[in-house]
Amino acid sequence: MSPSRSQTDETRGWIVPVGGAEEKVGHPRILQRFVRLSGEEESRIVIIPTASSLDETGKQYEDLFQELGAQSAVSLPYRERVDTDRDDWLEALNDASGVFFTGGNQLRLSATLGGTSVATLVRRLNAKGIPVGGTSAGAAILPEHMIAYGGTGGTPLAGMVSLAPGLGLTNRFVIDQHFRERDRLGRLLSALSYNPFAVGLGLDEDTAAFISPDNVVRVVGSGAITVVDVSQLSHSSIAETREGEPLCMTDVRVHILPHGSRFDLNTRCATPP
């Protein structure tokens, strides 16, 4: 699926994938910044907790965002595809100044929301300037291509990763979350070996990529983002390698970017803090 096009007088909203386990108590700078982008004391944040199997997740984020100064925060707990046709929930979503997807299982998100009016509306809202963010599974689903699941380890292997359609806010990058904590470099490289168009963003926990409308990634959080740039990839052995065997990938660029760093998705240039 492709992102909704912004009108000539509109600017796309921020896209904010978070690596999971973001700070919620002491200094929740990631969630605080999302509230600011959504309108601060006038923000109306809609939370979609579909990825989570816990009933209390939506309420937890409602309380968090309201404590951080949001005017309102409401959870829309889509559990079945039939829920996506509820007019009252679609009305609440359409009125949002910010949309946030919680963590859990990204396949629960894609299977419930994929191809529905909710997914279409979220893309349209982002194209109109509304920030859309998500943590963990909620981060993975934001781009066009979503890592559904895969193995661990630093070496990319054939068959190591499975991809599924994501929400489709952008096709410029692929997200992997809990990156350093769960040793996921290999599966992100494996995903990028199929096609060198996208940039890989490996998000550590409590770390977010605040991606501006002009496609500049700003790193916020206590960890780092591993940026994998395969735009100059000269060889990928994905077509010839047997499942489970190591892949050959040459001329791959990797940047490790902590808080305050930037990466321009247009020019593929990284800037230190």
pLDDT tens digit string along 202-249? 999 999 999 999 999 999 999 999 999 999 999 999 999 999 999 999
What pLDDT does 7 receive? 54
CA dist., res. 69 & res. 145, Å (int): 33
**Strand segments (E) across 91-176:** 98-101, 132-135, 145-150, 161-165, 173-176
One of 178, 193, 236, 255 is an active-site residue; which one? Answer: 178
What pLDDT does 39 receive? 98
Q: Note the pTM of the prediction, 2 decimals.
A: 0.96
CB under 8 Å to 239, separation ≥6 — which residues?
A: none
The three-state secondary structure class of 4 is coil
What pLDDT does 10 receive? 78
What pLDDT does 74 receive? 98
The Cβ of residue 94 has, within 10 Å, a number of other Cβ atoms equal to: 12
Angle between helix axes 57-67 and 29-37 (nearest 10 degrees) is 70
Report which of 59, 66, 58 is spatially closest to residue 40, judged by C-alpha positions: 66
255 is catalytic: no
- Amino acid residing at 156: P
Beta strand pairing call for 207-211 and 216-221? antiparallel
All structural domains of the chain with their residue ranges: 15-258
136 is catalytic: yes
What pLDDT does 256 receive? 98
Instruction: Give, in words, the CATH class of 15-258.
Output: alpha beta
Report which of 202, 196, 195, 192 is spatially closest to residue 160, judged by C-alpha positions: 192
205 is catalytic: yes
Residues of the chain with pLDDT under 50: 1-2
Q: Which tens digit of pLDDT belongs to each residue from 173-195?
A: 999 999 999 999 999 999 999 99
The count of residues in the chain is: 273
One of 4, 110, 136, 190 is an active-site residue; which one? Answer: 136
CA dist., res. 230 & res. 189, Å (int): 9
CA dist., res. 261 & res. 51, Å (int): 29
CA dist., res. 152 & res. 260, Å (int): 28
What pLDDT does 152 receive? 98
What pLDDT does 139 receive? 98
